[in-house]
Amino acid sequence: MEATLLGTILPELSRTLTPGQSGTLASVQSIGLMAASLGAGPVLDRAGRKAGVLTGLTLVVAALLLLPHAATYHLLIVVLALLGLGGGVISTSTNTLASDLGGTNQAQMMNLLNCFFGLGGLATPALGAFLPTSTLALLITGIAIGTMALHATIPHARPAHAHRLDTAGLSGILGRPLFPLLALLLFLYVSAEIGVWNWFAVYLTGRGVPRGDALHILSFGFAAGIITGRFIAPRVLRRFRATSVTLGCSVLMSVSTLMMLQVSGTVMAGIAVFFAGLSMAPVYPTTLSLVSVAFPRGTATVIGIAVTVGWVGVAASSKIIGLIAGTDPSGLGRGLLVIPACSVLMILVSLCIRRLLPKT
């Protein structure tokens, strides 16, 4: 819910902010995500996953309590930085937990976990369509506090010392061609997905779609597509290799994301963005499962580094989209072509990964 909050409130903020300032807010959030993901991994491998979950939720609660009082652009930057830090710690912690629990079915487990990311992505714009920002922030705060209380009562096993990663081991991982390729795939994918979350509702409102309808298209279209895709993905992964799934999804993404920028009318926009979400759905969790399978030692550290590279995509794509759009809202359509461009590049990267992991 917190990860998709900016895209939900951005149409309202855009009344007083330029596209460049909106892009900067998204970049600030991504910088927080990067810093947290990179720093959290080694800590999680030593202190355990529970500490990460609780720390991330605490940062999110702090940001949400500040949000209703953020009346200036500079205070919004602080809020988005805190949301990014909290989200980065939560993402690394929970994906590592799913990897720990998945055993030989890591890809299926991580897709199942990330169904709930899609559920939060559906809920936030849907609620934001009729709730003021302050009420929405208060609601998410209550859910976050309840989640903190739940995790505080659940025992988590501490990671074994044998699974921790020293400097030499980390250098060996980063020196293999496979890791940069997997990280690059995450970079391109996150650039595309968060580009939709942050900008598609703004794009629709700029074309005359009412704000409420635009948010409903984002939630019941894009988020519903992601939920559906990640619910189906474990069944698909029982029949096809993980590398085949990422390649096939990249091809579908390149087509569906281009189509969503060409259609007119709310119904067609909803259908197009649903298929975009459906094609995107398995890529992120399946790629993370490939990271954990290929590099089983120091799982949290390696996942944290890979996720950090992915978050770089948020900073880069959001800023590029904002710069291409400039101060003219009608230019946003040109900026959003960054999304299908990233999808095409994903095809090439996926083909390279398949050559290095022929049996995965």
Residue 38 has pLDDT above 90, yes or no: no
Most confident of 199-208, 299-308, 333-342: 333-342
CA distances from 250 to 38, 151, 228, 283 (A): 26, 35, 17, 8
Query: Mean per-residue pLDDT for 202-209?
Result: 86
Residue 161 has pLDDT above 60, yes or no: no
Nearest-angstrom CA–CA distance, 198 and 314: 10
Higher-confidence position of 315 and 344: 344
Residue 247 has pLDDT above 90, yes or no: yes
Q: Residue 12's pLDDT band (boundaries 50, 70, 90)?
A: confident
Q: Residue 162's pLDDT band (boundaries 50, 70, 90)?
A: very low
Quick: pLDDT tens for 58-105.
Answer: 999 999 999 888 878 889 999 999 999 999 899 888 888 888 887 778
Higher-confidence position of 321 and 242: 242
Task: Give a three-class secondary structure readout of the chain.
Answer: CCCCHHHHHHHHHCCCCCHHHHHHHHHHHHHHHHHHHHHHHHHHHHHCHHHHHHHHHHHHHHHHHHHHHCCCHHHHHHHHHHHHHHHHHHHHHHHHHHHHHHHHHHHHHHHHHHHHHHHHHHHHHHHHCCCCHHHHHHHHHHHHHHHHHHHHHCCCCCCCHHHCCCHHHHHHHHCCCHHHHHHHHHHHHHHHHHHHHHHHHHHHHHCCCCHHHHHHHHHHHHHHHHHHHHHHHHHHHCCCCHHHHHHHHHHHHHHHHHHHCCCCCHHHHHHHHHHHHHHHCCHHHHHHHHHHHHCCCCHHHHHHHHHHHHHHHHHHHHHHHHHHHCCCHHHHHHHCCHHHHHHHHHHHHHHHHHHHCCCC
Higher-confidence position of 135 and 330: 135
Domains of the chain: 5-356 (1.20.1250.20)
Quick: pLDDT tens for 125-143.
Answer: 888 888 888 899 999 999 9
Contact 230, 289 (CB under 8 A): no
Predicted pLDDT at 251: 97
Query: Mean per-residue pLDDT for 267-285?
Result: 93
Predicted pLDDT at 29: 86
Residues ≥6 apart with Cβ < 8 Å to 77: 24, 25, 28
Q: Residue 159's pLDDT band (boundaries 50, 70, 90)?
A: low
Higher-confidence position of 312 and 239: 239
Q: Residue 343's pLDDT band (boundaries 50, 70, 90)?
A: very high
Predicted pLDDT at 172: 64
Q: Residue 160's pLDDT band (boundaries 50, 70, 90)?
A: low
CA distances from 81 to 148, 150, 272, 303 (A): 20, 25, 32, 21
Q: What distance lies between CA 238 and its chain's CA centroid?
A: 24
Query: Mean per-residue pLDDT for 241-270?
Result: 93
Q: Considering the chain, what is the average pLDDT of its residues?
A: 86
Query: Mean per-residue pLDDT for 269-291?
Result: 93
Higher-confidence position of 286 and 69: 286
Predicted pLDDT at 327: 63
Share of the chain above pLDDT 70, in %: 94
Predicted pLDDT at 134: 85
